[in-house]
Amino acid sequence: MKFIVSSSYLLKQLQVLGSVINSNNTLPILDNFLFELDNNELTVSASDLETTMSATLSIDSTSKGSVAVPAKLLLEILKTFPEQPLTFTVEDNNTVEISSNSGKYALAYAAGEEFPKSVSLEEPSVTLVPADVLATAVSKTIFAAGNDDLRPVMSGVFFQFSPEGLTFVATDAHKLVKYARADVKASQVADFIMPKKPLNILKSILGSSDAEVKIEYNDSNATFSFDNYILMCRLIDGKYPNYEAVIPKENPNKLMIDRSLFLSSVRRVAIFSNKTTHQIRLKIAGAELNVSAEDIDYSNKAEERLTCDYQGDDLQIGFNSRFLIEMLTNLQSDIIMLEMSLPNRAGILTPADGLEEGETVTMLVMPVMLNS
């Protein structure tokens, strides 16, 4: 088998697929890219058994066949070539020869049949989502997903599809983000939990795409198809916690404030907070917000005053500054609203402007006990 392909075109596709490959694989074959050639179409796949991704490339060839080529070695050599056509030839002595303008390079290959076959979904449910909507949904929620191996259901993002719209939720029990779109709908009700790794891969390539992503899913797997890519992954098994139950409905105390002002104030004050609790205190009275932090062990403390628009009773509440900073950084609006009820109930952050039609973002942050 033999084919000709542009070096930079191949590198660009392989770098995307390379993010699937783990640094320490249980099966040596998973350290390879699978090349499947069918005349002018080359399909390249990478897998870690949980996630499999393939890209279809248009190339110049008249042969068919499949080989598994060492991924790391191939990526390293491709990075060094200037843009030029490369000729790949599979030789009889178990090597693939790459011919460039300046030289020849031989890599050992494994038989393509050894590569694990990807699962085919039997009668899956299908939903179409614009790439930019999916990219926004993933980047708005993924940072709030947990890292706890003991609670695997919370280490992913919960997808909820219905004829009313799409909802994406992530939580680690300290913070929760719910991103909803009423302008994109699914034909039937369905929900599943997506692991973080495939979502991070999707996030990195969806941003530059204006295609529609075709999501196919059943109880155990999901497939995302768009442009020339197909990403398939195993879903996280289990029942997602009832997140609606933890979002407080009655929040009479409403604070409106400039997001970037509030964010830089929290960042500065947080430097002086206790290094284990990261606790900062918000004290709100009238139109004044007092942001303070103290590390008693080292006698460090900081306090800042900001003007805000506040309706409600005077209130003192403590938050973990790291969670607050993550959320404020992730919101894109100029003005944000922080809704609270009591010092021991969760605060709700929402953007007050800058949203598209049909888009809602709700972020919930659990308070920390103030040591008075």
Which pLDDT belongs to residue 119?
Answer: 87
Strands, DSSP E only, in 287-358? 288-295, 300-307, 309-311, 315-320, 335-340, 347-351
Which residues, in sequence order, are bridge partners of residue 339? 254, 348
pLDDT in tens, 44-78: 999 999 999 999 999 999 999 999 999 999 999 99
pLDDT beyond 90 at 207 = no
- Calculate the alpha carbon distances from 316 to 282, 289, 332 in Å: 6, 10, 26
Domains and CATH numbers, the chain: 2-114 (3.10.150.10), 125-245 (3.10.150.10), 247-365 (3.10.150.10)
Q: How confident is the model at residue 210 (pLDDT cuts 50, 70, 90)?
A: confident
Q: pLDDT tens digits for 314-338?
A: 999 999 999 999 999 999 999 999 9
Residue 148's identity, in one-letter code, is: D
Distances (CA, A) of 98 to 230, 276, 312: 26, 54, 70
Where would I find the beta strands (DSSP E) of 59-141? 64-70, 85-90, 95-99, 104-108, 110-111, 125-130
From CA 6, how far away is CA 87, in angstroms rounded?
A: 9
Q: Which pTM value belongs to this model?
A: 0.92
Please answer whether residues 187 and 127 qualify as being in contact, where contact means their C-beta atoms are separated by less than 8 angstroms.
Answer: yes
Interhelix angle 71-80/7-18, rounded to 10 degrees, is: 140
pLDDT in the model for residue 372: 60
The answer, yes or no, to whether residue 221 has pLDDT greater than 90, is: yes
pLDDT band at 88 (very low <50, low <70, confident <90, very high): very high
